[in-house]
Structure 1
Amino acid sequence: MNPKDIIKGRGAQKNTNNRFSEFSSELRDDFLEFCRLEGEEANPNKTQYLPIFPKTIVNKVDSPDVGMTYSLNPYQGCEHGCIYCYARNSHEYWGYSAGLDFERKILIKKDAPNLLEAKLKTKNWKAATIVLSGNTDCYQPAEQQFKITRACLEIFLKYRHPVGIITKNALVLRDLDILVQLAKDNLIGVNISVTTLSETTRRILEPRTASIQKRLETIRILSEHKIPVNAMLAPIIPGINSHEILPLAKAVCDNGALSFGFTVVRLNGAIGGIFEDWIRKTLPDRADKVLNQIKDCHGGSLNDSRYGLRSRGEGKIAEQIHDMIHLAKRKYFKDKSFPKLNTSLYKQYKDGQLRLFDE
């Protein structure tokens, strides 16, 4: 494929049809010719911010593989454009494609802070860590404009409620003032995703994310301010970043991370087709090798839906990945651990002086 035909700054290189829609679409040659003659763009590569108005904002997470009980997502869709992102499929529930639409049509939940406060004030709510970005990154580019994540952090601080963050964007440092206050009471844990040490790989795999150097610097700065950091070396993709496990673990350790997690890539739903289209266009020389190795980790398929196995993989290649992970933890994280967050302060900040009359 001609490199000029690659859509720059995007992960997905096409829009897949929405499995929930009775309609499908395609870019026909006659339409493309019409656009050329009219001087119009057939497929403008611009990001749209679309407001939505959900009734609730805190989601119960039932999956045993995710490692969280509650999540909060200020945005749906993600401009970072990570080609492997499992959240792509959720965009189909909103009537969009898991491909380019996921990166270019960002749904904005401006009322998220108010909905969060209403949830924390409900009578039956008991403190449990709520993770920002269980689905899409809360510090993606839209946050620079809308500042919804910062407003939510202010609510968590107001009620002294534990909160986790998952991001691959250095924008999290903008809110260092709030994070430091949360950390004083052990109310915050930050997960920084670092998938490669190669900028060349990062640019095609995660096109609109912070540079690797910025992410490592973010881990260091957060750690220096006594904010606990877990690094997410995820996903591990055979043939793309699987050879980097030890250097990645060393890099995040050297910058202050207290622990790291990982997953073996799986390409569920529409993501399999999106990923295969992407790799055949961007890395054609190794496409078959990578796809076959991913299949080897999931019983001959690009996807695996079995709880307990779908994020770990099985088979010889998955075993090799697990062996390297265990070695990395013994070598670099033997005497480190990520703290459990504090849930004891929330009740008194929720009830205020009213608690005095209950005792």
Structure 2
Amino acid sequence: MPVFPPASLVHGRGAPANNLSQRFDRIVREADGDWLDAERTFADRTGTLVREDAADPYDPERANIGPAAPRTEVSIEKPKTAITRNQSPDVPFDRSINAYRGCEHGCVYCFARPTHAYLGLSPGQDFETRLTAKPDIPALLRRELSKPNYQCRPIALGTNTDPYQPIEARYRITRGILKVLENTGHPVTITTKSARVCEDIDILARMAKRRLAAVMLSVTTLDPRLAGKMEPRASYPARRIAAIRDLTAAGIPVHVSVSPVIPAINDHEIEAIVEAAATAGAVGAFSIVVRLPHEVSPIFREWLAAHFPNRASRVMSHLTEMRGGKDNEADFFKRFQPKGAYAAMLRDRFRKAAARWGLDGNRLDLSTDLFAPPGQQLKLF
């Protein structure tokens, strides 16, 4: 099976390899060595691939992208709908929007990686480098919100891939979505690892005044070196904490997600992250232990072997103990409730930290009463 060089030789990417999934009987493709250059490729509005030099300031956050980093390729997708419906009984939302497929942040543990296998692409480095943008989403959303039978409930952004990953600076699809939601009085929740969310403070602040917006910043570590291994192209931890402060100052309610917690890697930082977020103004906190569905498990194991060879067996021992001897638990309700003494200890530490800093018990309280379908305002005249 073709693979890319190990993570230690490919700077700025999370997955150690580009192994292809065999779950869907796709043809195994040969690795393209041309990816190992210092360019990124984007698709313009017509869908034509366009190259740009890696020094382009479209992503000013990252300073650790080495000259051997595979370039990012972005293609245009023309979806038929904007809103994805969710019927999972153990998640707190029933609809979401994903402006992009794949995520350049490169979080090695990302549970969304296996979705690339459906496209015949690798959940490894393809997930980080072969991205898809959906610029028609705002127009499709406006059309869907106009349907007579639409019932308003909060829409979640960032549930699959990050709405503020670096390519948002170019495509601005997330901002387009927010404009539609603001104009229709529709509530939204945002989960992100990027300080780029602050570029939309103008819209989010206006929505927050009407109880229409809330943001969750995911902070996995306060150590920039560890962050560079876990999530190489996400905003540095200090920038995320600063983003909590800036959003709070603008009147936008912010929660912190101390997720995922990885035993023997970042679990020692639970209390410090909660404290930093609370000090910056967060009003609530959430935490889950890392999950390893499908292809995420071998990718994560390769990553451990590359970056933490002396701790790899210890990490996996804790994780398999929590999942009944398996790498992952897929059953509803069980998947977010790891078992065992170590899992109980992690939950207890997080709950005590959240209670100490007043981040326990704060729930999202967004309004659905202000929703007015697109064009309805004209009926008032």
TM-score, normalised to structure 2, is 0.86
Matched, 1:75 2:100: yes
Among 301, 314, 317, the alignment partner of 1:292 is 317
From 19, 26, 30, give the equivalent of 1:16.
19
1:184, distance to aligned residue in structure 2 (A): 1.4
**Which residue is 1:209 aligned to?**
234
User: Where does the alignment leave 5 or more consecutive residues of structure 1 unmatched?
Assistant: 28-34
For residues 10-67 of structure 1, what are the alpha-carbon distances to aligned partners after superposition, in whole Å with 9 as ceiling and x for unaligned?
A: 000111222213423566xxxxxxx9xxxx6475511100111110110111223332
The one-letter amino acid paired with 2:12 is G
Could you tell me which residue of structure 1 aligns to residue 175 of structure 2? 150
Residue identity opposite 1:53 in structure 2:
K
CA distance in 2: counterparts of 1:217 and 1:150, whole angstroms: 20
Amino acid at match of 2:75: L
Match of 2:77 among 22, 27, 52: 52
Listed one character per residue, the Cα deviations across residues 93-147 of structure 1 (whole Å, up to 9, x for unaligned) are 2221110000000111010100110111111111110011110000001101101
Secondary structure, in 3 states, of the residue corresponding to 2:327? coil
Please name the residue that 2:137 is paired with.
Answer: 112
Amino acid at match of 1:155: V
| Map of 1:94 onto structure 2 | 119
Q: Secondary structure at the match of 2:126?
A: helix
Please name the residue that 1:332 is paired with: 357
Q: Distance in 1 between matches of 2:20 and 2:137?
A: 30
- Secondary structure, aligned partner of 2:259: strand
Instruction: Report the equivalent of 1:302.
Output: 327
Residue equivalent to 2:54: none
**2:15, 2:124 within 8 Å by CA — same for their partners in 1?**
yes
The alignment partner of 1:86 has SS state of coil
CA distance in 1, matches of 2:79, 2:132: 11
CA shift, 1:338, in A, is: 3.7
Distance 2:78 2:34 in 1: 31
Which amino acid in structure 2 is aligned with residue 133 of structure 1?
A: G
Rate the CA distance shift 1:323–1:169 in 2: closer, same or farther, 3 A: same
What's the C-alpha RMSD, in Å, of the aligned pairs?
2.0
CA 1:334–1:281: 2 relative to 1, 3 Å: closer
What do residues 200-223 of structure 1 show as CA deviations (whole Å, max 9, x unaligned)? 110100000101100000000101
Aligned to 2:278: 253
Distance in 1, Cα, partners of 2:233 & 2:290: 20
* Corresponding position of 2:208: 183
Q: Contact conserved, 2:7 with 2:15, CA < 8 A, in 1?
A: no
Tell me the residue number matched to 2:109.
84
Comparing 346-355 with 321-330, greater Cα deviation is found at 346-355
Taking a change above 3 Å as real, the CA distance of residues 3 and 111 of structure 1, as seen in their structure-2 partners, is closer
Q: Distance in 2 between matches of 1:135 and 1:22?
A: 23
Who is 1:64 aligned against?
A: 89
Measured in 2, the distance between the counterparts of 1:330 and 1:144 equals 37
- Cα contact 1:193–1:231 (8 A) shared by 2: yes
8 Å contact kept, 1:80–1:209: yes
SS of aligned partner of 1:101: helix
Matched residues in 1 for 2:74 and 2:359: separation?
A: 44
**Contact in 1 for aligned 2:278/2:359 (Cα 8 Å):** no
Please say if residues 16 and 270 of structure 1, whose CA atoms lie closer than 8 Å, have aligned partners that are also in contact.
Answer: no
1:17 alignment partner AA: L
Aligned residue identity for 1:20: F
CA deviation profile, 1:289-333 (whole Å, cap 9, x unmatched): 111111111111111112112122111111111111221122112
- Give the distance between the partners of 1:316 and 1:343, measured in 2 at CA: 41
Which has a greater percent of helix?
1
Measure the CA separation in 1 of the matches of 2:353 and 2:88.
Answer: 27
Q: Distance in 2 between matches of 1:322 and 1:300?
A: 20
Q: What corresponds to 1:32 in structure 2?
A: none
1:213-248 per-residue CA deviation (whole Å, 9 max, x = no partner) reads: 000000001011110001111111111111111111
Aligned letter for 2:275?
K
1:224 alignment partner in structure 2 = 249
Please state how far the C-alpha of 1:355 moved relative to its aligned partner.
7.1
How far the C-alpha of 1:73 sits from its partner, in A, is 0.5
**Is 1:323 equivalent to 2:327 in the alignment?**
no
> Aligned to 1:204, what secondary structure does the other structure show?
helix
Shift of 1:76: 0.5
Indicate the residue corresponding to 1:31 in structure 2.
none
Task: Give the equivalent residue in structure 2 for 1:200.
Answer: 225
* Alpha-carbon offset, residue 350 of structure 1: 5.8
Question: Residues 77, 335 of structure 1: CA spacing in aligned structure 2 closer, same or farther, 3 A cutoff?
Answer: closer
Which has the larger displacement, 243-252 or 70-79? 243-252
Tell me which residue corresponds to 1:30. none
